[in-house]
Structure 1
Amino acid sequence: MDIVTSADGTPIATHSVGEGPAIVIVNGALSRAQDAAEVARAMADAGLRAVTYDRRARGDSGETPPAAPEREVEDLAAVVAAASETGTEAGGGAAVLGHSSGAILAHFAAGEGVPMTHLFLSEPPFRFGQGDPAADLADRLRAMADEGRPGDAVVAFQREAVGLPDAAIEQFRASPLFDATAPLGASTVYDVLVTQRASMPSSAMREVRMPVTILCGVETMPFLISAAARLAELMPDAEYLEVPESVGHGIHPEATARIVAERLEA
C-alpha cells in the first residue's frame, strides 16, 4: 500500500499491481480498493499496471470535511499523477476505469481537467435529471454517520439513492455482508453528492478530449442499460460496447481487461 496526499491534505491509500501502461480503477458505492483486486489482477495479467484506491472516507483513506465532489476530483487527480509519475506515461496522465458511481466520478473529473489517456465508463448510473434522490439526502446520511449510525446511512442510501426494495434491503441486513459494509456509511455522502452534481452530464463532460469507451453488461438493471445508451447518444464520438460476460452490475475481470488492454495498445 502507498499513500498519496490530496490537495486538502487527505491521505488516499493506493495499491498497484502489474507492469505496463497505467489504468486507475475507481470503485462504485459501498466498496473499497480490495473489492477491485480481481479486476486489477486481470489487468496486470493483460500487461497493464492497475492502480486501485480507497476513495475518501473508505478503508485506509482519510476524510477531511466538508464533503464535496471537488474533493474527490482532487483525490483522483492525485492518484492519476502518482500513477503517471511512476510509469511510462511521464506525467501525461493515466487511463481511468470507473464503475457505477465511480464512473460518474471519473467522468466528472475528466470534465474538470484531470489528465487521462483514455476514459472507460462501466455502467454509469446517470439519471439525466429524472428521479434524483431528495436534495437533503446527503445531509441526512452525514447526520446518521456522525451520530454513530453508519449502518442506517447504508440502508437509507440503498433505499433512496439506489432504489432497492425493502425486501432486498432486509435480506441484506440479515447477511454477514451488512456488518462488513456498515462502516462505509459515511462514504455514501460522497456518492450522493457526485451523482446529484452530475445527474445530467455537463457540456464539459460530454466534450472531454480523451478517447471514451462506455461499457455495459447485457444482464444488468434496465435503468443502467438505458443510461449507458443515452450517454452514448450524447457523446457520438464515444465507443459503446456491450460486455455479455458482465452480469448483475458487476465488472467481469478478464473480459474487461481484454477490452481495456486492446484500446491502450492501439
Structure 2
Amino acid sequence: MSSTVTSADGTTIAYTKVGSGPPLILVDGALCYRDFGPMADVAKGLAPTFTVYYYDRRGRGESGDTAPYAVEREADDLEALIAAAGGEVFMYGVSSGVALALEAAKRPGAGIRKLALYELPAVTDNTAAHWPSDLLERTEQLIAADRRSDAVKLFMKTVGTPSFVVAIMRLTPVWKKLKAVAHTIPYDYRVLGDAGYGKPFPADQWSSVTQPTLVMDGGKSPEYMRNSQRRLAEVLPNAQHRTLPGQTHMVKAAVQVPVLTEYFSS
C-alpha cells in the first residue's frame, strides 16, 4: 500500500507498507528508491514476519525535495516514518542508508528498537584509494551544469565500478533512471561525511547509538569495505559484526532476508 507522510520541513515522503508483524523500516543507499533498487525484493521477503516500510528518500521517486538540503532534514524524514509506523520500529540501512539510519538512531528518543546495517561505504585505512578531497564540490558543479550523466560517471568511478561496466550501463535503460536521481548524489556524500577519506571513525561519533546493532559485510567485498565494517562495529556501543559468505555490496535479498528475520525476531 503506497502512502505519504509529511516531514518536519513540509516535504512529502512517499512510502510503501507491506506485510504484518512488528514494524521495520528499510533505508536505501545512493541512487535507489522504491521502483529502482533492492528494497522491494527485501520487503517482499520480510513481509510474512514484519510490517515493512520502504520509501523514496527525498529527491527520489515520488518524494519531494525541499531546498536547501540538510542531513538533519533527511533524518527528520525517518522520524516522520517512525511516527507513522507507531513510534517504535526496527530499522535496516544499506550502503549510504547506514549513515542515515545512524543519524536517526542517535537522536534522543529515536524510537528505533534494533538496527541492522549493511556495508557503510567507508575507507578508513590505506587498503583502497581515498575519495578525492573535492569530490562533493565537483559533483555539485556537475549537477549545477545539468551534466547528470557525468555526475553519475564520477560517482561510479568513486565507488569502484569498472569503466567497462559503466560503458555498458550507459547503453541500457538503467542509465536513464540513474540520471533522474543524479541530483541526490551530493546528499549521500553529505550524509556520509568524512567516511571515504581514510580517517578512522571518531570514537564518540555514534556514542548515543546504544540500540542493539548488527553490522554486516559481504565475504567477497573488498578488504577496505570489510575493514571498515569491523571498525564500525567496534565504535558502536552495542554492536556485533557478521560477514555474509559469498556476498558483495550488491547483496542478494535471498541471503539478507533470513539473517534479518532471525536477528529482529530474537
> Aligning the two structures, in what range does the TM-score lie when normalised by the shorter sequence?
0.7 to 0.9
Match of 2:142 in 1: 144
For the 8 Å contact 1:104–1:198, the answer to whether it is kept is no
Secondary structure at 1:219 match in 2: coil
Task: For residue 63 of structure 2, give the secondary structure of its aligned residue in structure 1.
Answer: coil
> What do residues 104-148 of structure 1 show as CA deviations (whole Å, max 9, x unaligned)?
211122123432011101111233487653454334333433433
More displaced 10-residue stretch of structure 1: 247-256 or 226-235: 247-256
Q: CA deviation at 1:207?
A: 4.1
Specify the alignment match of 1:263 in structure 2: 263
Q: CA deviation at 1:195?
A: 0.9
**Which residue identity is paired with 1:262?**
E
Match of 2:44 among 41, 44, 48: 41
- What residue number does 2:243 align with? 242
- C-alpha distance in 1 between matches for 2:213 and 2:173: 37
Question: Matches of 2:170 and 2:184 in 1, distance apart?
Answer: 18
**3-state SS of paired residue (1:205):** coil
Partner of 1:178: 175
Partner residue in 2 for 1:153? 151
Corresponding residue for residue 119 of structure 1:
115
Of 41, 57, 60 in structure 1, the residue corresponding to residue 59 of structure 2 is 57
Give the 3 Å change call, closer, same or farther, for CA 129–195 of structure 1 in structure 2: farther
- 1:108·1:198 contact (CA, 8 Å) conserved in 2? no
Q: Provide the C-alpha distance between the structure 1 equivalents of 2:64 and 2:226, rounded to a whole number of angstroms.
A: 33
Q: In structure 2, list runs of 5 or more residues that go unmatched.
A: none
**SS of equivalent residue, structure 2 residue 206:** helix
Tell me how far apart the structure 1 counterparts of residues 64 and 143 of structure 2 sit (CA, whole Å). Answer: 15
Q: 1:133 aligns with which of 131, 134, 140?
A: 131
Moved more, 112-121 or 24-33: 112-121
Query: 1:156-235, aligned counterparts within 5 Å?
Result: 156-160=154-158, 162-196=159-193, 200=201, 203-235=204-236
How big is the shift at 1:196?
Answer: 1.6
Say how many residue pairs are matched: 256
The answer (yes or no) to whether the contact 2:210–2:236 under 8 Å persists in 1 is no
Taking the aligned partners of 1:159 and 1:129, their CA distance within structure 2 comes to 19
The normalised TM-score by structure 1 is 0.87
Structure-1 separation of matches of 2:30 and 2:262 = 28
1:2-34 Cα shifts (integer Å, max 9, x gaps): 111111111111001100011100011111123
CA distance in 1, matches of 2:12, 2:18: 20
1:94 matched to 2:79? The reply is no
Q: How much has 1:42 moved relative to structure 2?
A: 0.4
- Compute the displacement of 1:60 (Å): 0.6
Contact in 1 for aligned 2:210/2:238 (Cα 8 Å): no
Work out the CA distance in 2 between the residues paired with 1:176 and 1:223.
31
Going from structure 1 to structure 2, the CA distance change for 1:28 and 1:195 (only over 3 Å counts) comes to same
The answer for the alignment partner of 1:108 in structure 2 is 103
Relative to structure 1, is the Cα distance of residues 132 and 107 closer, same or farther in structure 2, using a 3 angstrom cutoff? farther
Tell me how far apart the structure 1 counterparts of residues 162 and 250 of structure 2 sit (CA, whole Å).
19
Worse-matched range after superposition: 231-240 or 32-41 = 231-240
Distance 1:216 1:128 in 2: 15
Partner of 1:88: none
Taking structure 1 as reference, are residues 261 and 62 closer, same or farther at Cα in structure 2, changes over 3 Å only?
Answer: same
Q: Aligned partners of 1:61 and 1:201: how far apart in 2?
A: 33
Deviation digits for residues 179-227 of structure 1, max 9, x if unmatched? 2211110110111111125663562514412110111221223322111
Give the Å deviation of 1:175. Answer: 3.1
Give the Cα separation in 1 of the matches to 2:162 and 2:251: 23
C-alpha separation in 1, matches of 2:150 and 2:157: 10
Structure 1 runs (4+) greater than 4 angstroms displaced: 129-132
* Aligned residue type for 2:106: G
> Considering only aligned residues, what root-mean-square deviation do their CA atoms show, in Å?
2.2
> Which of the pair is proportionally richer in helix?
1
